[in-house]
Chain A
Amino acid sequence: NAGVTQTPKFQVLKTGQSMTLQCAQDMNHEYMSWYRQDPGMGLRLIHYSVGAGITDQGEVPNGYNVSRSTTEDFPLRLLSAAPSQTSVYFCASGGPGTQYFGPGTRLLVL
């Protein structure tokens, strides 16, 4: 099993550009989520999903969209990037009581 994979590992965007952060898992987990990590703030939940077709907002959803068309994939979309979205993004998947984290995507918005 590859576990949780994220692409790209690193991305530089200009303000106003859009992009999609990819996340995939091969463990057949129902639950998937996206976090952002900023210095001194730990991880903050952006969006999460409890199954295909079902998503909901976390603590900091503004500026991000998600969809869950399959169990395996949970992409995160930035429609119009802003410098405040410069961060490290982690995807996680799991079942009851357990989350497995991907390696992260480092995003820089200029």
Chain B
Amino acid sequence: AQSVTQPDIHITVSEGASLELRCNYSYGATPYLFWYVQSPGQGLQLLLKYFSGDTLVQGIKGFEAEFKRSQSSFNLRKPSVHWSDAAEYFCAVGGDTGGFKTIFGAGTRLFVKA
């Protein structure tokens, strides 16, 4: 069965520190992988996506993610966190429909300390 696991319910980092949010997936075929961000009271915004090719994917707002097939992981990273990055982050996996019938993880809430 398809599933996405985000092991960390919440993470707190200091402003300027590096960030890594973990994501593990289970999918029977070649996965399409996504990271979304949701600010309080807002909808979801796509940060980046991976379909094929280079396993290191660059996204908006300085985020990147690395696809590791052997570990079934798609972790999100940012070298230096800004206070405005405080939000909830969702990892998602979809099939060759290109993102539809997408399965979302439960999310990781990021808190940023001044």
Q: Which residues of A contact B (CB under 8 A)?
A: 31, 33, 35, 40-45, 48, 50, 58-59, 90, 94-99, 101-104
Contact = CB atoms under 8 A, between A and B. Distances in A.
18 contacts: A31-B98, A40-B9, A42-B90, A42-B106, A43-B44, A43-B92, A44-B104, A48-B101, A58-B101, A59-B103, A90-B43, A90-B44, A95-B98, A96-B97, A97-B32, A98-B46, A101-B44, A101-B45
Contact of B43 (A40, A97, A104): A104
Given A31-B98, A33-B100, A104-B42, 5 more contacts: A42-B106, A43-B90, A48-B101, A96-B98, A104-B43
A35 B45 CA distance: 15
Given A101-B43, A101-B44, A40 B106 contact: yes
A97 B44 contact: no
Interface in B35-74: 42-46, 49, 51
A33 B42 CA distance: 17
